[in-house]
Structure formats: C-alpha cells, structure tokens
C-alpha cells in the first residue's frame, strides 16, 4: 500500500477488496513473480536485468520492491511467456 498526495494504491488479492465505490480503478488478473532470497542493498541491477529482459520481449511489468526482495507482477496471460523468456536468460523458477 502506498499513499501520495494524489492517490492511494493498494496491491492485494482481488477478493480482498471490499465492494466499495472508493475502489473505482481496479486492475485484475496479475501473477506475481518473487525474487527469492533476501537481497542485500549492495547488490545492484537485479530488478533492472529482469525488467529489461521482459521489456525486450514486450512484456510489461508492475514492480514492487520491499526491504528484503523484489516482486514482479505480470499480466496472467503473459506469465508463461515471462517464464520462458527469463529461463532463457538463466533465471530459474520454483513455481508460478
């Protein structure tokens, strides 16, 4: 959840949203890819490497970074393509 002067953004499972008029802009059907492990702040370029690889293959992402790791949200219909593209660059998956 993030709040700015202009907006409040909430990322959660769709079924967790209340049926409320204040949630007018909802974008459903995302799958989450988690970067495994705790990422030390001295590590650079991890998210960039993943994002650039996906962008080169016309796969848009919504990236979320937390204190420990990064998450990449990909539209559900593109998640298998994302897996293939990232695996071709040496990344591995435990599950999607």
pLDDT band at 75 (very low <50, low <70, confident <90, very high): very high
- Copy the structure tokens of residue 50: 């993943």
Q: What is the DSSP letter of 51?
A: H
- 49-64 confidence digits (pLDDT tens): 899 999 999 999 999 9
Please give the structure tokens belonging to residue 85.
């593209």
Task: Tell whether the model's pLDDT for residue 79 goes beyond 60.
Answer: yes
- SS3 call for 30: strand
d(CA 51, CA 3): 24
Architecture category of domain 27-88 in CATH: 2-Layer Sandwich (3.30)
Per-residue pLDDT at 76: 95
- Domain ranges in the chain are 27-88
70 neighbors 47 (Cβ within 8 angstroms): yes
* Greater model confidence, 20 or 88: 88
Of 39 and 91, which is predicted with more confidence? 91
Q: Using 50, 70 and 90 to split pLDDT, how confident is the model at 19? A: confident
């Amino acid at each position: 959840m993030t709040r700015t002067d202009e907006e409040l953004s909430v990322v959660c499972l769709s079924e967790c949203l209340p049926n409320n008029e204040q949630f007018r802009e909802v974008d459903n059907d995302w799958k989450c890819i988690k970067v495994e492990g705790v990422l030390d702040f001295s590590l650079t370029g991890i998210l960039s490497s993943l994002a650039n690889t996906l962008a080169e293959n016309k796969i848009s992402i919504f990236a979320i970074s937390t204190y420990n790791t990064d998450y990449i949200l990909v539209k559900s219909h593109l998640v298998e393509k994302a897996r293939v593209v990232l695996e071709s660059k040496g990344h591995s998956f435990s599950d999607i």
